[in-house]
Chain A
Amino acid sequence: MIEALRVALRRGGKKLLAGVDFHLGPGELVAVVGPNGAGKTSLIRILSGEYPPDSGTVQLDGVPLDRWSPRLLARRRAVLPQETSLDFPLSALEVALMGRMPHVRSSRDRQLALDALHQADAAHLAHRIYPTLSGGERQRVQLARVLCQLRDDSAPAQRYLLLDEPTAALDLAHQYTLLRTVRRLVGDGLGGLAILHDLNLAAQFADRIVVMAGGQIVTGGDPRTVLVPELIREVYAVDCVVTRHPCLAVPHVIPVPDARMGVGAHTTVPRTHD
């Protein structure tokens, strides 16, 4: 379990997180949503140990992150950043292989990297040069890298994957492929956290949705209880209708244009609660 207790973080005189309590357990996928500047990326930074919190503690398995060796920590949690630029001509396979860095070198590393590329639907990119790939292709290669990083058959332990807007650069098909892959790993016991902007994707894939605003956690819980029009209006200042997804037992959010914009002034707005 990764746990943040009363965490505060400031950078350059700016309060990024204030009094955040958060936990991520094995076998659950948590979606973090919220407007820009809500502190979502900062949450990933303190959960991964990249930034030490200014107050409060972050623990993995009850041990504060600063007491973990960076290498052992890296075997337990991986981070998929929003974007990873690279100015050097590494191949996709070489990038994926970097995921094996925290582990003891083995002759299986290459096969693990190829498997990971396959899982991330990037096997065909293996020998392409990373800087020549498109944004979406790069994101899939990075996913392969973090999957490769979390493969560890030598020691059974709970592992955690933190994804910062993983779907931002992906087309519709690959958004679903990526989240399905993560979902499957979560089914095998992985703890996953994903920052998502698409509330419907969050509703479809997450066990739990955490809503952030102004460096604080506003609410969190089952998508069906969290995604209600009042909250969405409060957090995003957007009116919407929440219906039931036509095929799935999850809520579906449909933003409604502001009446003042003059669009559909006579439209009746059905208020449907799940």
Chain B
Amino acid sequence: MNVLRRRVLLGGLLGLFGVAPVAVPAASRSGRVISVGGSVTETVFALGAAERLVGVDTSSIFPEAARSLPQVGYQRVLSAEGILSLQPTLLLADEQAGPASVITQIRAAGLPVDTVPSARSREEVVERIHLIGQSLHRDAAAQALAGAVDQRLEAVEQALAHQDQRPRVILLLAHGRGSPLAAGRDTQGEAMIRMAGGQNALHGFRGYKPVSPEAVVAAAPEVVVLPEQSVEALGGMDAALAASGLDATPAARHGRVVVLDMLYLLGMGPRTGEAVTELALAFHPALRPGRIP
């Protein structure tokens, strides 16, 4: 008797919680898109699909028009209901978007989620553009954009083939207090250094790790790359150099500190070709701007 009642109750509970997700028909997928990740949004704009965007995350700051779209919050602390409330038909998100549990919830609600993997090489940068194009059914536009980016990166590669030197470079990120983070192995930062014909002078660790001023001096970089936002966070160029130990490096002594916008520098998106070109020219003063198409 008791067991039976329990079973009935359990059945009811399962019925309550067991609403199966209903798939959204593929044809309508790309109608209302939420884009998460600065360079993903940038690519959507570059592919001419901006009018489909109904929401972006806070890292989507380029182009300017992206800033006026509804905000779904920081890309790593998304809210499932917040995203669903915009009635999207597709969530196009950088691999970094999360938390994972929220992505799972969104998928479970039946909203298609296309994840764009991070890129750490020329091929992967190109692949990202193709993936976003496929996801938005903009294959032709993606083909053209990816081709242009690839061409630019290839040109840099060829120009660099004639350069013997591979200057020692470090790339630092700083958010204000504490030791700055340096780009180690398998990071977008290292990929940018490599594609621009430099060698990462802090190669001993994976990912972004805090480094002491002493380690910065010991690495003896010939060139330093800093995002604009980090320089601001540290209170200007002089403060930034002093705080991180950079002022004692050959790079600072010879004035070889390159400051670029964070998204432009690390986005691995449509502007990465330009960013790599700019870095390559800074790493190799012998290169003439005209030599790279």
Contact between A and B in the complex (any CB pair below 8 Å): no
Task: Name B residues whose Cβ lies closer than 8 Å to a Cβ of A.
Answer: none
**A→B interface (CB under 8 Å):** none
